[in-house]
Structure 1
Amino acid sequence: MTIERGSDKHGPRTDDGLAGEVEGLVRSGHSTHAEEWKDPEPSGEDQPTADLSAEGTLTGGTPAGVDAGDVEGRSELASYLGKEVWPATADALREVAVERQATDRVLQEIARLPQDREYANVQEVWEALGGGREQRF
């Protein structure tokens, strides 16, 4: 069993030091600088509020050609199939999904795949299941 730390870019000593630098800010919810001049300046009156777009509050975006359901479904498939399996047939994909204890929904989707071809990546699998394709401009 491995213990995951907050970062794999630094060593434990550096991680602890960086965590200590922001601990006061995280706990207090406001600036911890003693001198006001050290605080970051707020947005000016002529600058947009960071959480608003021209149409209102920002929400997560999706690429052209797909909707949120496509993104979620394709991501779920990818999380169980991984990167090592490609190229693969429907049978090979089913074996990997069962081995990785995929959800019933993922297993049902893979069972619907046409058996007569080999798939190069998750996008090809998703398209064979009737999912959308991102439009590149």
Structure 2
Amino acid sequence: MQRGSNRVSVRRDDEMKHELQGLIRSGHPTRVEEWHDPEPAADDDPPVMTGPVPARGTGGEAEALRFEFARRLGRTTFPADRGTVLRTLRERHTPDRLIARAEELPSDRTYHTVGEVVSALGLHPEA
């Protein structure tokens, strides 16, 4: 098979994939020696790894909350009512601040997406 201008051999390419599997699966560095890890983010770096970056001039509270709920609830939770959302959040050991926000949801509605959950809390993502 022709590999074009790639300077890495097929064997080395497979070795590199094997080395990165732990990092890709776990989402955090897997090496014991700290000097192998990449340099941590600076204080003034945008929060790209921790959630959505808000548009300039907006607070981004709705986007951040939607991101956190989406991480905890996933797609399989929906459609769901308030009780199902709360039960799923508790089963997945969600931080108390998110559970407190979910307790504010109206109990007479069925939610089909995370966006509907965030909108029901009175927050609307900026367009």
TM-score by length of 2: 0.57
Correspondent of 2:97 among 95, 105, 130: 105
Tell me the equivalent position of 2:108: 116
Unaligned runs of 5+ in 1: 1-11, 21-26, 28-57
Unaligned runs of 5+ in 2: 1-10, 20-35, 37-44
Decide whether aligned partners of structure 1 residues 15 and 81 sit closer, same or farther in structure 2, where only a CA change above 3 A counts.
same
Number of matched pairs: 89
Tell me the equivalent position of 1:95: 87
Decide whether aligned partners of structure 1 residues 15 and 72 sit closer, same or farther in structure 2, where only a CA change above 3 A counts.
farther
C-alpha separation in 2, matches of 1:91 and 1:134: 28
Q: What RMSD in Å do the two structures reach over aligned CA positions?
A: 3.2
C-alpha separation in 2, matches of 1:90 and 1:84: 15
Decide whether aligned partners of structure 1 residues 15 and 110 sit closer, same or farther in structure 2, where only a CA change above 3 A counts.
farther
Decide whether aligned partners of structure 1 residues 78 and 18 sit closer, same or farther in structure 2, where only a CA change above 3 A counts.
closer
Tell me the equivalent position of 2:117: 125
C-alpha separation in 2, matches of 1:13 and 1:109: 49
State percent identity of aligned pairs.
Answer: 29
Tell me the equivalent position of 2:13: 14
C-alpha separation in 2, matches of 1:17 and 1:80: 31
TM-score by length of 1: 0.53
